[in-house]
Amino acid sequence: MAAATEFDGLRVVLVAARNPLNIGAAARAMSNFGFPHLRVVNPYEAAFREARSAVGASALLASAEEYKTVADAVADCTLVVGTTAVRHRELQHPLRRLEFGTRLIRKQLGSGRVALLFGSEKFGLSNAALSHCHWLMRIPTCEANISMNLGQAVAVCLYEMVRDARAARSNEKIKRASSAELERVTTTLLEAMRASGYLDRRPIADVEERMRRLVRRLNLPSRDAVVWLGILRQIVWKLRSKGAIRTDSD
């Protein structure tokens, strides 16, 4: 993920949050994704800083800045973005989907502080709070249940901020078995099939080619190929040592 310093300029602002457990959960998600700065406006519970839900984020919660008004909480920010579940509120605000909005936020973070506002659990952001926002952002939830839990909404928004588009294209670092390794597995499998008498009972046309393709379809990681080879060799050894030997020249 991106370096934490990239997100030093973001202020997560919880406005009139009712449940201190949700404030703690928001702090935990911030800590998970590397956003250190929390601001709280008029929380319902003054003692929110002790919320046990802030697992691993007690320092972040302790250092949260408290404000009486949204205006004060966003005064030093050059971009203020409100979050909403509503799609067609009659407001004079552009409404952007999370996937696109976070791109604009990341861009703005290069030159100034950005406030990301979340409203209360029951009512979301008030019209007064929304009037401080440059634009709004929504998480693409289903029509049937658009309203998210506060802590979960914060987690999803911050995840989208740190999400790495390149990681979606490919993140495979597993070393696959080489053709030589796969060929050794194939050869030994064939030996085991012969030594076990399998091919006598169920003759297969073009058996080598068929088994070669069967083994390729396993798409084995290199280290797994080593394990399989070991197992098969042991089986072959045992089959042969038992006298149940059948050689190619039989």
Instruction: For CA atoms 17, 22, 24, 28, give the dihedral sign.
Output: negative
Q: From start to end of 157-223, where are the E strands?
A: none
Query: 171, 176, 183: which is closest to 223 by C-alpha?
Result: 176
Backbone angles phi, psi at 27, to 5 degrees: -60, -40
What is the x/- site pattern for its own copies, positions 183-222, by CB under 8 A?
A: --------------------------------------x-
Return the structure tokens found at 73.
Answer: 């909480």
- Does 53 help bind its own copies (rule: CB under 8 A)? yes
Nearer to its own copies, 2 or 71 (CB): 2
- Does 55 help bind its own copies (rule: CB under 8 A)? yes
Q: How far is CA 230 from CA 132, 222, 227, 233, in A?
A: 67, 13, 5, 5
Question: Which of 89, 134, 163, 233 is close enough to bind its own copies by CB under 8 A?
Answer: 163
- Does 249 help bind its own copies (rule: CB under 8 A)? no
The DSSP line for 132-165 is T-SEEEE----GGG-PPPHHHHHHHHHHHHH--H
Taking the complex as a whole, the smallest distance from the CB of residue 229 to its own copies amounts, in Å, to 15
Taking the complex as a whole, the smallest distance from the CB of residue 162 to its own copies amounts, in Å, to 6
Interface residues toward its own copies, by CB under 8 A: 1, 4, 25, 28-29, 31-34, 53, 55-57, 92, 94, 96-97, 99-100, 103, 139-142, 144-149, 151-152, 155-156, 159-160, 162-165, 167-172, 174, 221, 223-224
